[in-house]
Copies of this chain bind each other. A is one copy, B any other.
Amino acid sequence: MNKNRIEAFSDGVIAIIITIMVLELKVPHGDSLAALVPLLPVFLSYVLSFIYLGIYWNNHHHMLHASREVTGPMLWANLHLLFWLSLIPFTTGWMGENHFSAVPAAVYGVVLLMAAIAYWILQQVIIASQGSGSLLKKAIGRDWKGKLSPAIYALAIASAFRSQWISIGLYVLVALIWLVPDRRIERVLTGGDR
């Protein structure tokens, strides 16, 4: 089995998730600028989730690039990741429509946390399949971003019940950490040292 089809399927699913999310931005009834105001929280949560899905698509890309063959466990670890990503439109809509209130903000973080864990599992499955001298293992290095993110998500979930704005701030922080493009894998692949 070759890598192309798992890439194509993942691309398809992520492209659909990122696009149906916009369906939560429901056309308002009035035709004034004021009619758009209540949509602002939904819009902002859409922007945040769009960036997160972009980051996942981007990193997923690099990760598969560093793997040679596709195994059964990889397929299922990948579907597991896509499952949690598929819940993002729901949590995004819920958080947006409730103007970032506490419980939806916490649940938003739970899905991000589960997606991060699923991503980590997929990464471990690929590394295990590559044996010692794994290209991916070398490429991710100490993987401090991958280890820090779940910790920040957990903190954000706990903080939501004190103030959801701390949670939102932490979600934005993780997005910023990842937005810096992950050149590590590219560097190893192109033969540069870490």
Shortest distance from the beta carbon of A168 to any chain B beta carbon, whole Å: 15
Cα–Cα distance between A191 and B161 once the two chains are bound (Å): 58
- Which of A13, A73, A182, A183: most chain B CB closer than 10 A? A13
Are B22 and A87 interface neighbours, CB within 8 A? Answer: yes
Identical chains in the assembly: 4
Are A89 and B22 interface neighbours, CB within 8 A? Answer: yes
Binds B, one of A2-10, A115-123, A126-134, A145-153: A2-10
Q: Which of B16, B22, B36 is close to A12, meaning CB atoms less than 8 Å apart?
A: B16
Task: Specify the main secondary structure of chain A where it touches its partner.
Answer: helix
Which 5 A-B residue pairings sit nearest by Cβ, starting from the closest?
A72-B181, A12-B15, A31-B98, A16-B19, A27-B93
Contact residues of A with B, CB < 8 Å?
1, 5, 7-9, 11-20, 22-25, 27-28, 31-33, 36, 47, 50, 54, 57-58, 61-62, 65, 72-73, 75-76, 79, 82-83, 86-87, 89-90, 93-94, 97-98, 101-104, 107, 179, 181-183, 186
- Of the A-B pairs whose beta carbons lie under 8 Å apart in the complex, a sample of 13, sorted by A's number, is A1-B65, A9-B11, A13-B18, A16-B19, A17-B19, A20-B22, A25-B87, A31-B103, A50-B79, A50-B83, A50-B86, A58-B72, A76-B181
